[in-house]
Amino acid sequence: MLDSQFRPSKQFWEPFYSDRTRPVPFFHNKPDENLHAYIASGLIQPGRALELGCGPGRNAIFLHSKGFRVDAVDISQAAIDWAKERANELLYPIHFQCRSVFELEPREEYDFVYDSGCMHGILPHRRIQYLNMIYNGLKPGGHFGLTCFAPGFGDIGGPQFAMSDWDAYEEKTMKGGLAFTAEKIRYLLSDNFECIELRMMNEMDEDSDLFGVPFLWTSLWRKK
């Protein structure tokens, strides 16, 4: 019933990814700077990985290049087609699927689950189901990486305010994605995950091989 009060996600994302000429920073085939840092520092080690909301595959491709066996899903077929094209050009055998995250039922299969901008588009009443899926899908001691909107950046592309869950239902929109405070991120995750790192994403310039914008939280968690 609550789902029906909102536009289906696929209605937004399918045309969004169908136009590859859009000037969208995360269309470029470069990984998140925090994901690169986790691997470069040894915070996470190669294993089996799942990326949620993978878009055109930039982070999944990077994970494979670092020795991970990668499954990746997105609700947009246009995004998955683009991701497969990129992976095929590199002869990377990444398992891309056009699926809703709510169709997934993994059971302690993954060493690492990564979400780069998916959770802030999840309807609030679906959040528990989403986080439980991630928890159940991780092996004991596995890691969860998350990037999501921070409030206060409306002038440069992010949300201006931390819109409340209540307001989302009152207005029947999440206005492109909900922003979270650091306190709310910890509230949502701390029961089941130990926080390894929580910080703002470092901004990267256009010439960098890494993606980084200043309006996203980045965080890394270990399954308790």
Q: Mind listing the pLDDT tens digit for each residue in 119-136?
A: 999 999 999 999 999 999
Question: How far is 54 from 78, CA to CA, in rounded Å?
Answer: 12
Report the distance separating Cα 36 and Cα 19, nearest Å: 27
What pLDDT, on a 0 to 100 scale, did the predictor assign at position 94? Answer: 98
The percentage of residues in the chain with a pLDDT greater than 70, rounded to a whole number, is 96
CA distance to 26, 29, 123, 195, per residue, from 164 (Å): 26, 33, 12, 23
User: Residue 78 corresponds to which tokens in the numbers above?
Assistant: 């246009």
Query: What's the farthest any 2 CA atoms get from each other in the chain?
Result: 47
Least Cα distance to 192 among 151, 147, 149, 146 occurs for: 146
155/185: higher pLDDT:
185
Looking at residue 142, its pLDDT comes to 98
pLDDT(217) > 80: yes
Q: What mean pLDDT comes out for the span 161-187?
A: 87
pLDDT in tens, 16-71: 999 999 999 899 999 999 999 999 999 999 999 999 999 999 999 999 999 999 99
pLDDT, tens digit, 9 for 90 and up, residues 79-131: 999 999 999 999 999 999 999 999 999 999 999 999 999 999 999 999 999 99
Cross-strand pairs, 147 = 116, 218
